[in-house]
């Protein structure tokens, strides 16, 4: 409560708020560790966080329904894969909309995976399977294995040291369409011409068009801003985007 009160006071002076926020996130323990060992620092953080129940209870959120609408527009869809699924809130709603599709998720948090699989079994949903693993550990999946592959607020935690490997792996297993709901750098920035990422307020923000052009023709890439009510709050209202690659 005290922390939120201080934040609310600082927001009255945007310049001061952004300065303090930038200092806070730059000196954050996990980011300092990330500077030393790379994305492994974030992976260790997320692998041990108690996120299972909280994420599951968020399965009726506006952002989840927004995502489902985007994927529903791609019908017919026979197989779906989420990278960074937590306990499966997005996949729960997708299973309702695509009861005949085979739906798979992978997440680095084994507790969330166990919890999610138990909840799907309890709900009698048999077309969803969650697997424990990292975003860079997709080697066991065949090329073009899934009609639709997607992420939602996952790549904001993947640093420049690993983003190329993750993107190449995701593209390899995508048969029809890749959908990324991530933080997009809309303005050019000479510090990062390849779209590997610029650290901003606790997240990695990048030009996904620049990144993806290294692997697919530009004509296959679409970048659009998300509506403000789909993922409300900073930084999503300013930088949130749907990045779509049609294979």
Q: CA gyration radius for the chain?
A: 18
Question: 29-38, 97-106, 201-210, 220-229: which range is least confident on average?
Answer: 29-38
Strand segments, DSSP code E, in 97-218 are 102-107, 128-132, 146-152, 174-183, 198-200, 203-205
Helix then strand then coil, % of the chain, to nearest 5: 45, 20, 35
Model confidence pLDDT, tens digit, residues 146-176: 999 999 999 999 999 999 999 999 999 999 9
Model confidence pLDDT, tens digit, residues 40-96: 999 999 999 999 999 999 999 999 999 999 999 998 999 999 999 999 999 999 999
Q: Say what the pTM is.
A: 0.90
Task: Provide mean pLDDT across the span 104-130.
Answer: 98
| Beta-bridge mates of residue 131 | 106
Whether the Cβ atoms of residue 102 and residue 189 lie closer than 8 Å to each other: no
**Rounded CA gap, 123 and 157, in Å?**
31
Q: What percent of the chain has pLDDT over 90?
A: 79
Look at residue 7 in the predicted model and tell me its pLDDT.
47
**Choice between 164 and 38, residue whose per-residue pLDDT is larger:** 164
Which pair of structure tokens corresponds to residue 134? 């990292």
CB atoms within 10 A of CB 155: 28
Cα-based distances in Å from 41 to 26, 33, 36, 192: 14, 6, 9, 22
Q: How long, in residues, is the chain?
A: 247
Whether the Cβ atoms of residue 180 and residue 242 lie closer than 8 Å to each other: yes
Whether the Cβ atoms of residue 160 and residue 191 lie closer than 8 Å to each other: no
**Rounded CA gap, 9 and 140, in Å?**
50
Look at residue 34 in the predicted model and tell me its pLDDT.
85
> Which CATH number does 38-246 carry?
3.40.50.150
- Average model confidence (pLDDT) across the chain: 90
Angle between helices 2-10 and 14-26 (to 10 degrees): 130
**Rounded CA gap, 122 and 118, in Å?**
6
Cα-based distances in Å from 92 to 18, 50, 70, 130, 241: 36, 19, 15, 11, 22
Look at residue 33 in the predicted model and tell me its pLDDT.
79
Strand segments, DSSP code E, in the chain are 79-83, 102-107, 128-132, 146-152, 174-183, 198-200, 203-205, 221-225, 240-246
């Amino acid at each position: 409560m005290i922390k939120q009160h201080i934040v609310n006071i600082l927001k009255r002076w945007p310049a001061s708020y952004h300065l303090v926020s930038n200092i806070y996130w730059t000196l954050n323990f996990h980011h300092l560790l990330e500077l030393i060992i790379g994305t492994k620092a974030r992976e260790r953080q997320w692998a041990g966080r108690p996120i299972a129940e909280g994420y599951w209870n968020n399965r009726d959120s506006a952002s989840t329904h927004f995502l489902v609408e985007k994927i529903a527009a791609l019908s017919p869809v026979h197989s779906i894969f989420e990278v960074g699924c937590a306990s499966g809130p997005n996949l729960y709603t997708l299973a309702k909309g695509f009861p005949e599709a085979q739906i798979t998720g992978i997440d680095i948090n084994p507790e969330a995976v166990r919890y999610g699989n138990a909840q799907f079994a309890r709900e009698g949903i048999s077309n969803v399977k969650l697997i424990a693993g990292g975003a860079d550990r997709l080697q066991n999946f065949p090329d073009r294995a899934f009609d639709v592959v997607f992420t939602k607020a996952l790549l904001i935690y993947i640093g420049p040291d690993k983003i190329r490997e993750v993107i190449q792996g995701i593209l390899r297993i995508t048969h029809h369409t890749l959908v990324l709901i991530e933080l997009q750098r809309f303005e050019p920035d000479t510090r990062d011409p390849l779209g590997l990422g610029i650290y901003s307020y606790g997240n990695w923000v990048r030009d996904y068009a620049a990144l993806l052009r290294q692997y697919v023709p530009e004509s296959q890439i679409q970048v659009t801003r998300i509506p403000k009510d789909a993922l409300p709050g900073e930084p999503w209202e300013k930088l949130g985007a749907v990045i779509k690659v049609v294979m």
